Amino acid sequence: MQLPPAVTVHSVGMARAALAVGQPVTLLSAEGAGAYAGAGWWQALVRLARATPPGGQAPDILDCGDAAGRALEALRAGQVKLILRAPPKIFSDVEGFATAQGAVLMAAPPASLDLFERGAPRRLPSWLGAPG
């Protein structure tokens, strides 16, 4: 599965900033956000960011850490791309459920630029391949 460059976002403002560059981007939640904030929070964040011009239909990935139950909850809520760090048997079971729903379960996140890191917003355009 080939996705645009990933940007880790922690707020609607960060997601809007990533989309505002105008380049293809994958919105990635913080590590374990699915476990502590939940799918509803993530889906609302993404929906709000996409609704703000220029918006767009950037793919998004919810990181559920090692919380298999939260990953299943996210799948039931319609999340189509998730990360789950779980032992092979648990991962396989959740992956079967994800596949049956047309979703993708990953064992590790893609490389990303975390917008919470110092200086990351300044590096965002080049990370996304914006003409400089």
Residues 21-78: pLDDT tens digits?
A: 999 999 999 999 999 999 999 999 999 999 988 878 899 999 999 999 999 999 999 9
Nearest CA to 8 among 44, 62, 54? 62
Integer Cα distance of 76 and 72 in angstroms: 6
Mean pLDDT for 9-26 is 96
pLDDT of residue 132: 64
pLDDT of residue 54: 80
65-111, pLDDT tens digit by residue? 999 999 999 999 999 999 999 999 999 999 999 999 999 999 999 99
Residue 12 has pLDDT above 80, yes or no: yes
Integer Cα distance of 129 and 131 in angstroms: 6
**C-alpha angle 13-78-38 in degrees, rounded to nearest 5:** 55
Integer Cα distance of 76 and 30 in angstroms: 20
Residue 131 has pLDDT above 90, yes or no: no
Phi, then psi, of 6 in degrees rounded to 5: -95, 145
Mean pLDDT for 4-33 is 97
pLDDT of residue 52: 86
**Single-letter amino acid code for the residue at 95:** E
Strand 112-114 versus strand 104-106 pairing type: unpaired
Residue 1 has pLDDT above 80, yes or no: no
Boundaries of every domain in the chain: 21-121
Supply the DSSP symbol for 52.
S
User: CATH topology for 21-121?
Assistant: Rossmann fold (3.40.50)
Q: Kindly report the pTM of this predicted structure.
A: 0.95
